[in-house]
Structure 1
Amino acid sequence: MRQALALLALLTLVACQSEPDVAAPERPNILLICVDDLRPELGCYGAEHVQSPNIDRLAAEGRRFARHYVQAPTCGASRYGLLTGERPTHNGQLGNGFMMSHTSKRPEGEQPESFVHHFRRNGYRTVGIGKISHQADGLARRNPDELELPYSWDEMLVRYDKWGKGDAPFFGFADGSNRNTLKYEVPPYEAGAVDDLGYPDGLHAELALSKLDELAAAEQPFLLAVGFYKPHLPFTAPQKYWDLYEREQIPISPNPDGPTDAARAFLHGSAEFFNRYKLGKEFGGAGKRLSDAYAREVRHAYLACVSYIDAQVGKLLDRLEETGLADNTIVVLWGDHGWHLGDHTIWGKHSLFERSLQSPLIIHAPGLPQAGRATPSLVGSIDLYPTLCELAGLPVPEAVDGISLVPLLDDPTLPSRRPVYGYQRNAMSMRTDRWRLLLRKREQGWQAALFDHDADPHETRDLAAEHPEQVAALRSLWNEGTNGLIPTLDAWPIATEE
């Protein structure tokens, strides 16, 4: 495959020498499917209780990345990393509003170049549908006529329908209401007596199908990004997807309690889940479990949403086949971060544990060798930018921190090349093949947590106090990931007391 890619890149270079920003016809199309809050609890990731046949089909024909991690456990910051291929260098990049407050206001030449912009500048038609950046419609809230990613899109499309503009569809229920206008006096889930078009994601899938028909009739290569809202809260899906599951057969979390010996500061109170869905049946907090019965009920709702989105993914894959686009289209399915479903007593994201930072990544490319075989190599979301560039024969901008995944598309058995890092304000997490090290900055020094994934894949026991020598052994790798964002271990030592 790599030889074919090298030939493609050469042909592209020759074709574009006189006009460097004009795409060669040999370039592949790209379909990027972004799924909000999708944890790797899917059939293809070993969760036999989950009904995800279409995503499983994509994995069976592509490359599944078994250990893919985002660089921030929140939507906007994670998507910023995906789109720019850059690690954060200051705290502003770790919030949800950075693209709205920063990139939407800067001139084109002063912006970190998103891969969407890079592809557009090099001859691709770029179309976004749904949530790709942070805002549900891709618009900057302070100026509703301004895109979060100006200069990137030829078209940015969304279906508002019965919910109205802004983020109302994102938080919407089947009757057209939404959690914000109801002042959070809503439940965290709904089984709607509607078909797929009764919620925004079905409407966006329909819009994407129409757009694929249009793009198939054109000669210009395209990058189509489709962003689905679910399974983000509220967990709303048509009743038929709830009916796919027997609630009593749904397992609860294998790690429903906080890690033994870990500081409470590494947990959080699940504020969105408990405070913005006030009609929930039970209320917990950091270190406080919900009942198994209610945990299953909420997990049932989440899985119904996963199956609803899986059905929409299936429609897109089928349309690629029907239009003849499949043979020259790279398909990427990406989750913007994981989500705790009661793991460590948390109901939400926003942690630096495995469950929050790990998400699905599946890439299907025409001619992929060993299709269907997963790779255990550690990879990050920032690696997608250079991967797509290499597959399309485009140069990689110097500012990109990610490294291409094409070697892993060629050979899924290759070892991990480097650790992956996750960031929050004043905190960081590092994942190696065996260890996860978490450090949270305190006045007297770093507060540490250490987990051995060979023996404890669910991160149930903190070993930092028991094995300080292992924390010390990870020092140099840790320092490499701080990126000027937070102090190194040399500059800010680990605290000796809680």
Structure 2
Amino acid sequence: MKKLASAVLYGCGISLFASSCVQKAEEKKLNVLFIMTDQQRYDMLSCAGNRYVGTPSLDRLAENGVRFEHNYCANPVSMPSRFAMATGRYAGEIGYTNNSTKPDTLRVLPVARESSVGNLFRNAGYQTVYSGYPGFYCGRTHMEEYGFTQNGTDYYEGPADFAENFLAGYNPVQDEPFFLYLSFMNPHDICYGAGFDPRFPDELRPHQIAATQKYIDLRKTLSDEEYRAQIPPVPANVEPNGTYAEMKAIGSGSRDWTEEQWDFYRWMYCRLVEDVEQQIGRILAALENSGLADHTIVVFTSDHGEMGQSHGLVFKSRLLEEATRTPLIISGPGVKKGVVDSKSLTSGIDLVPTLCDLVGIPVPENLSGKSLKPVLTGQTDKIDREYIIVESSSGYQINDGRYKYTAFTRGDKEASLMDILADPGEMSDKVADPAYVAEKERLHGLLMKEIKKITEQVPAEK
């Protein structure tokens, strides 16, 4: 009888200990898994209705969370955009407007130390680790300054390799909560991998050639019928000689591309999206297998888009929908499932306040972005925001969901005004149309006020 009582007490002890461990794990702040691609446009998801690209892993992520349809980068080039996503502040605050801005003209590191998501989470007791393509600061990583321990420099499969190993070895009871920032290079290699860009000889880009050669080889194995079925159609707003002809592929040689080359470019872009999607699938599977999915917030986004022949242009940097609009999916505990938010205007600067808000870290008051938690948790169906701002080295843009007004700081063109509801392809500039004078003046005034908040470099009054 004593043995039975001892066994019962022993069993209860084990049960209580296990229960205590689970309770301790659950008491910890939520983990964060942040996944970023480079140069992935907003519509390069099969769950967004694109039948020329397959993204099953990201589709499942969207089914388990919220997908924001009108998300914009803060700047349509990598480094300023990534700075904004990592700090919740516009890069223009420190004169950081393009990838080639000289480091000695910036105040990047003081801002990174003050409000970067890595430091905010590290100071809150998180282990913060970054793996993959850094792309933050003019060729120098400074990941420790941003609050992250750098782990690995392979930009292609490296982030997935690291995530699998990290999650397999993570102990939810003993280890600190984690913030994993996983950054992939692709589909950025469309800049090089189409195989006919004279700016980049093969010997100067061995990694890009290796990463994309399999798709160049794959094309050779497909019949013409199979290949044609996989090529997205020419964009409706291709506009070869219209409003944006003066911007056309500066220095890229694409001005003289043949129809066959354009077809291959669009096909290759889809394949590079699918390539990185496979790596993301590995990460999400590892999260599920670890048993940590129910205690982890997952974010997927990209730093900027890709023109993809719209307006006859390629690559990024333009203040046009294809370059500035990016995918954003967020899932996790407390987040509504299967929601597509087509009402809110969201931005890369919203990610720091959102993640802080979701895990209970105080949101710094000096951030430019807004927390998306009210939509994520179902408190509202639209973020309370009148407009968003996008900046670049060529100008500043205000977008209120219907109209986009751009004040240029470079070139001969002073401004543009697009009605993106009536003209989603941005084919008809209304800036000189008398019927739009009121909207032009309203948006110009608002934009000037916002620019003054960001930087002293205000475009001349019209």
Return the alpha-carbon distance in structure 2 between the equivalents of residues 109 and 37 of structure 1.
25
Q: Once the 2 structures are TM-superposed, how far is the Cα of residue 150 of structure 1 from its aligned partner?
A: 2.6
Return the alpha-carbon distance in structure 1 between the equivalents of residues 382 and 454 of structure 2.
30
Q: Once the 2 structures are TM-superposed, how far is the Cα of residue 247 of structure 1 from its aligned partner?
A: 3.1
Indicate which of 74, 88, 91 corresponds to 1:88: 91
Return the alpha-carbon distance in structure 2 between the equivalents of residues 443 and 436 of structure 1.
19
Q: Which amino acid aligns with 2:126?
A: Y
Indicate which of 424, 441, 446 corresponds to 2:392: 424
Q: Alpha carbon RMSD of aligned pairs, Å?
A: 3.0
1:253 aligns with 2:223: no
1:126-137 matches, within 5 Å, as 126-134=128-136
Aligned residue in 2 for 1:450: 417
The farther-off stretch of 117-126 and 215-224 is 215-224
Q: 1:341 to 1:110 in 2, by over 3 A?
A: closer
Indicate which of 176, 186, 211 corresponds to 2:166: 211
Q: 1:346 to 1:121 in 2, by over 3 A?
A: same
1:51 aligns with 2:54: yes
Q: Is the 1:116–1:126 Cα contact (8 Å) retained in structure 2? A: yes
Secondary structure class of the residue paired with 1:474:
helix
Q: Once the 2 structures are TM-superposed, how far is the Cα of residue 152 of structure 1 from its aligned partner?
A: 3.7
Return the alpha-carbon distance in structure 2 between the equivalents of residues 462 and 303 of structure 1.
30
1:228 aligns with 2:197: no
- Which runs of no fewer than 5 residues in structure 1 stay unpaired? 1-22, 141-146, 161-199, 275-282
Q: Is the 1:247–1:296 Cα contact (8 Å) retained in structure 2? A: no
Return the alpha-carbon distance in structure 2 between the equivalents of residues 384 and 346 of structure 1.
29
1:316 aligns with 2:283: yes
Q: 1:426 to 1:459 in 2, by over 3 A?
A: closer
Q: Once the 2 structures are TM-superposed, how far is the Cα of residue 435 of structure 1 from its aligned partner?
A: 0.8
Secondary structure class of the residue paired with 1:331:
strand
The farther-off stretch of 317-326 and 83-92 is 83-92
Q: 1:121 to 1:43 in 2, by over 3 A?
A: same
Return the alpha-carbon distance in structure 1 between the equivalents of residues 276 and 167 of structure 2.
18
Aligned residue in 1 for 2:204: none
Aligned residue in 2 for 1:201: 156
Return the alpha-carbon distance in structure 1 between the equivalents of residues 112 and 336 of structure 2.
39
Q: Once the 2 structures are TM-superposed, how far is the Cα of residue 394 of structure 1 from its aligned partner?
A: 0.4
Return the alpha-carbon distance in structure 2 between the equivalents of residues 388 and 241 of structure 1.
40
Secondary structure class of the residue paired with 2:390:
strand
Q: Is the 1:117–1:153 Cα contact (8 Å) retained in structure 2? A: yes
Secondary structure class of the residue paired with 1:348:
coil
Q: Is the 1:215–1:222 Cα contact (8 Å) retained in structure 2? A: no
Q: Which amino acid aligns with 1:248?
A: R
Aligned residue in 2 for 1:14: none
Q: 1:201 to 1:255 in 2, by over 3 A?
A: same
The farther-off stretch of 115-124 and 239-248 is 239-248
Indicate which of 247, 254, 258 corresponds to 1:284: 254
Q: Is the 1:99–1:148 Cα contact (8 Å) retained in structure 2? A: no
Q: 1:442 to 1:220 in 2, by over 3 A?
A: closer
Return the alpha-carbon distance in structure 2 between the equivalents of residues 400 and 99 of structure 1.
24
Aligned residue in 1 for 2:445: 476
Aligned residue in 1 for 2:266: 299
Q: 1:475 to 1:97 in 2, by over 3 A?
A: closer
Q: Once the 2 structures are TM-superposed, how far is the Cα of residue 99 of structure 1 from its aligned partner?
A: 9.5
Q: Which amino acid aligns with 2:33?
A: L
Q: Once the 2 structures are TM-superposed, how far is the Cα of residue 410 of structure 1 from its aligned partner?
A: 2.4
1:115 aligns with 2:82: no
The farther-off stretch of 217-226 and 96-105 is 96-105
Q: Once the 2 structures are TM-superposed, how far is the Cα of residue 464 of structure 1 from its aligned partner?
A: 1.0
Q: Is the 1:54–1:314 Cα contact (8 Å) retained in structure 2? A: yes
Q: Once the 2 structures are TM-superposed, how far is the Cα of residue 101 of structure 1 from its aligned partner?
A: 5.0
Q: Once the 2 structures are TM-superposed, how far is the Cα of residue 66 of structure 1 from its aligned partner?
A: 0.2
Q: Select the structure that is richer in helix.
A: 2
Q: Deviations over 1:157-196 (max 9, x none)?
A: 1245xxxxxxxxxxxxxxxxxxxxxxxxxxxxxxxxxxxx
1:158 aligns with 2:152: yes
Return the alpha-carbon distance in structure 2 between the equivalents of residues 149 and 102 of structure 1.
19
Q: Is the 2:119–2:148 Cα contact (8 Å) retained in structure 1? A: no
Q: 1:48 to 1:219 in 2, by over 3 A?
A: same
Q: Which amino acid aligns with 1:204?
A: P
Return the alpha-carbon distance in structure 2 between the equivalents of residues 404 and 105 of structure 1.
23
Return the alpha-carbon distance in structure 2 between the equivalents of residues 58 and 301 of structure 1.
24
Q: Which amino acid aligns with 1:376?
A: K
Q: Is the 1:100–1:148 Cα contact (8 Å) retained in structure 2? A: no
Q: Once the 2 structures are TM-superposed, how far is the Cα of residue 36 of structure 1 from its aligned partner?
A: 0.6
Q: Is the 1:255–1:343 Cα contact (8 Å) retained in structure 2? A: yes
Secondary structure class of the residue paired with 2:385:
coil
Indicate which of 72, 77, 83 corresponds to 2:75: 72
Identity %: 27
1:408 aligns with 2:375: yes
Q: 1:314 to 1:93 in 2, by over 3 A?
A: same
Q: Is the 2:77–2:304 Cα contact (8 Å) retained in structure 1? A: yes
Q: 1:442 to 1:362 in 2, by over 3 A?
A: closer
Secondary structure class of the residue paired with 1:96:
coil
Q: 1:442 to 1:337 in 2, by over 3 A?
A: closer
Q: Which amino acid aligns with 2:238?
A: P
Q: 1:129 to 1:437 in 2, by over 3 A?
A: same
Aligned residue in 2 for 1:37: 39
Return the alpha-carbon distance in structure 2 between the equivalents of residues 109 and 383 of structure 1.
16
Return the alpha-carbon distance in structure 2 between the equivalents of residues 222 and 72 of structure 1.
28
Return the alpha-carbon distance in structure 1 between the equivalents of residues 402 and 360 of structure 2.
34
Secondary structure class of the residue paired with 1:201:
coil
Q: Which has the larger radius of gyration?
A: 2
Q: 1:459 to 1:109 in 2, by over 3 A?
A: closer
Secondary structure class of the residue paired with 1:225:
strand
Q: Once the 2 structures are TM-superposed, how far is the Cα of residue 248 of structure 1 from its aligned partner?
A: 1.4
Q: 1:36 to 1:426 in 2, by over 3 A?
A: closer
Secondary structure class of the residue paired with 1:373:
strand
Aligned residue in 2 for 1:360: 327
Q: Once the 2 structures are TM-superposed, how far is the Cα of residue 226 of structure 1 from its aligned partner?
A: 0.6
Q: Is the 2:95–2:455 Cα contact (8 Å) retained in structure 1? A: no
- Which runs of no fewer than 5 residues in structure 2 stay unpaired? 1-24, 194-210
Return the alpha-carbon distance in structure 2 between the equivalents of residues 159 and 256 of structure 1.
37
Q: 1:127 to 1:431 in 2, by over 3 A?
A: same
Q: Is the 1:377–1:414 Cα contact (8 Å) retained in structure 2? A: yes
Aligned residue in 2 for 1:183: none
Q: Deviations over 1:325-357 (max 9, x none)?
A: 100000000100001111111111011111111
